Structure 1
Amino acid sequence: MMLLATGINSAPPSKPGCPTSCGNLTIPYPFGTSHHCSHDYSFLITCNHSYNPPKPFLNSGSIEVVDISLDGSMKVSSSVASDCYDKSGAQISGTVSELTLPKFLISSTRNKFIAVGCDTYALVEGSDEWKQMSAGCVSWCDSVESVVNGTCSGIGCCQTLIPKGVKDFLVDIRSFRNHTRVKSFNPCGYAFVVEAEAFEFSSSDLKDLQNRKTVPVVLDWTVGNITCQEARRDVSSFACQANHSGCIDSSIGLGYRCNCFTGFRGNPYLVDGCEDIDECDTLKPCEGTCANLEGSYSCSCPKGFEGDGKKDGSGCHRKSQINGSTLLYVVSGKFLIMDSR
């Protein structure tokens, strides 16, 4: 069967007896708020109730979790690096942006590295298990009028891709002339890794980044550090527990993910977590009568009509009428055809 990315529907997202949320975050298994509720320590979410509402953090650290998806992605909150100067060119403040993860990777396809400023250059450094990697860009302009909203091509804003396979990053931001020529409208430079779809540059960002202190960053997560074939050998630790679910090897490195089969949805990491989709109700695929089947559906036409009954197929149309009949006889070894009309 084909596999589809899953979402959470009517089935409980977490193990029985385990919290399903922390503050505004829904927590689907294999993530959980205790060792009993999570698949292993990598998926532990610490719910800090000293905040109102409570805040979820990855493992027992300080990385705030914003969203978790069963498609193998997770959003966390990351700080913005900045450097600010006074009229004389002396630095008056600065912040750092860095993120270090115990296991999951920083998505190279769903994040970008952004620098904002009219006298700014920035570098992002990351590492995998074997080597250091870096990327950077330069942002320059001489007036607010020269920048174009929605464009991040080096005039007031620059961007570059994130190196693939990194588990951490450190942002280094600097200035060529300490913002002395652009102080009136751009006293600070800013740099950060951010979910690509979550940031669109505006000239208003040049003043104070519209008071943003944190931005969302997308992580890629997988289960374990082995392939599906290896993981299936140990039934007790194999994460794909649901009937009608399958295992997919990671495309970003070691590990695997679980998905519900086509025609099912829910949480493939839980027993009975993948539920049948009623295509007749959700898709309404038939012109005629729709019958929901396990993992599929069928269409049929009413009496007097023919076709496959599908909206994207031949549909239903009236059967052709036969006004007469043709008779075939064999006489003395010859065929005689007679039309009774």
Structure 2
Amino acid sequence: MGFQLALYFALLLLILFLLCPILQAAESQEPACGEEVCGNITISSPFGSHSSCYTYSWLRVTCNQTQNGKKPFINVNGIDLEVLGSLYSNGILIRNPVAYINCDHTNEASVSVNLSGTPFFFSSERNYFGSVGCGNLATILSNEADSLGGCIQSRCDDDGASESGCITYITVNLTSYTVNMTAMYPDSNRCASAFIYSPHRLLSGINIGTTHVPAVLNWKSSNCGDTGQSRTVTSIAWLLFFVF
């Protein structure tokens, strides 16, 4: 019995010894954590597409084929957000959906966004609140209906004022908020949009037809843990589990 047990462990060590170079060679063909690429975007830690490169599901990046090639996405509370890049050590640039008010495809006067239950938030240092339209008071509210700021659009006219807008600072970090539009004049009941965004040149390039805007998502590092586990070690651990 003792001889058989010793032989068993000797064979197991031999298998591991022979498999290590194979596993390491396979690992070397895959990008290291923090260096994975989707399209022309490098996926920075703590995010990752390989299961060994992220700790929690909200840090998982999926590389999806789109009409414009492969694009990286993260899923936040059921919404797929395209990743545009990593700008800071604890922030990524995403394509943030625009909320529409009084437009053909929606009659809602307000739109809610909720990041609750995730480590993500919209940083007041990296983002602004903006609106496109005319003749409205655009406000951003907390879910408790407390005003967090707002701005007044120019009055509507026939000279393209509907393509103008307004911007204002965000005073606090946000995990959830509500956008509201209040008509300031009788002729203000026109299509308008509102959004949180990270401006490179204020409202340059953003108009009433814009569906997404760049915005910075920050996260609480204490909720994200460590990443970048060794794929070889993980594979060997699974092998040991299978053998035993």
Q: Same fold (TM over 0.5)?
A: yes
The TM-score normalised by the length of structure 2 is 0.62
Q: Which moved more, 1:43-52 or 1:64-73?
A: 43-52
User: Pick from 38, 57, 61: which aligns with 1:41?
Assistant: 57
Alignment of 1:148-159 (within 5 A): 156-159=164-167
**Deviation of 1:53 (Å):** 1.7
Alignment of 1:301-340 (within 5 A): none
CA RMSD of aligned residues (A): 4.0
Equivalent position amino acid for 2:56 in 1: D
CA contact (8 A) 2:52 2:229 kept: no
Q: Aligned pair in 2 of structure 1 residues 49, 201: CA closer, same or farther (>3 Å)?
A: closer
The TM-score normalised by the length of structure 1 is 0.46
**Deviation of 1:64 (Å):** 2.1
Partners of 1:65 and 1:45 lie apart in 2 by: 9
Equivalent position amino acid for 1:48 in 2: N
Partners of 1:238 and 1:18 lie apart in 2 by: 12
**Deviation of 1:166 (Å):** 1.6
Q: 1:74: which partner in 2?
A: 92
Pair member with larger Rg: 1
**Deviation of 1:212 (Å):** 1.1
Q: Aligned pair in 2 of structure 1 residues 68, 100: CA closer, same or farther (>3 Å)?
A: farther
Q: 1:99: which partner in 2?
A: 113
**Deviation of 1:110 (Å):** 1.7
CA contact (8 A) 1:15 1:37 kept: no
CA contact (8 A) 1:15 1:270 kept: no
Gaps of 5+ in 2: 1-27, 231-244
Larger helix fraction of residues: 2
User: Higher relative CO (CA 8 A, sep ≥ 6), structure 1 or 2?
Assistant: 2
CA contact (8 A) 1:74 1:218 kept: yes
Matched, 1:194 2:205: no
Superposed structure 1 runs of 4+ greater than 4 Å apart: 91-98, 130-133, 144-147
Q: Aligned pair in 2 of structure 1 residues 224, 216: CA closer, same or farther (>3 Å)?
A: same
Q: Aligned pair in 2 of structure 1 residues 106, 222: CA closer, same or farther (>3 Å)?
A: same
Q: 1:140: which partner in 2?
A: 154
User: The residue matched to 2:216 in structure 1 has which SS?
Assistant: strand
User: The residue matched to 1:54 in structure 2 has which SS?
Assistant: strand
Q: Aligned pair in 2 of structure 1 residues 19, 47: CA closer, same or farther (>3 Å)?
A: farther
**Deviation of 1:164 (Å):** 1.6
**Deviation of 1:141 (Å):** 2.1
Q: 1:166: which partner in 2?
A: 174
**Deviation of 1:36 (Å):** 1.3
